[in-house]
Homo-oligomer: A and B are copies of this chain.
Amino acid sequence: MAHVLVRSIVRPEKADAVLATLLDAGYPAVTKVSVFGRGKQRGLKVGDIHYDELPKELLMTVIPVDDKDFVVQRIMEAARTGSKGNFGDGKIFVSPVIEVYTVSTGKKED
């Protein structure tokens, strides 16, 4: 396995910071989609209102497996709120990728 998929679920207000961090670190290629998420806190209570699910951004980037630890750390630093983090800052899931192709060239990447 040469590549892994790093799937980050982050607060919408932190998505730009994560994208900037990835670009700075040399990982420009990212796919982004708006999602709704519910975590271990089972939503959010604000006064009398309970929100079952909260908007999040899902960021997906495929990277060489050897860069995994570095990239995960950079994403977590960019996505964390405050100095100690808070519930709802998000999750990162790393999954295997078998093959990567570039459509324009038709080539499989090493």
Output the least CB separation between A107 and chain B (Å): 10
Assess the B94–A99 pair: CB atoms within 8 A. yes
Nearest-CB residue, chain B, relative to A104: B85
Nearest-CB residue, chain B, relative to A16: B52
Assess the B33–A35 pair: CB atoms within 8 A. yes
Q: Count the A residues whose beta carbon is within 8 Å of the partner chain — how many? A: 59
Residue-wise, chain A 88-108 has the 8 Å CB interface mask toward B (1 for contact) of 111111111111111111100
Assess the B62–A33 pair: CB atoms within 8 A. no
Assess the B31–A37 pair: CB atoms within 8 A. yes
A53 to B5, CA, bound (A): 19
From B58, B73, B79, B100, A93 is in contact (CB under 8 Å) with B100
Output the least CB separation between A4 and chain B (Å): 7
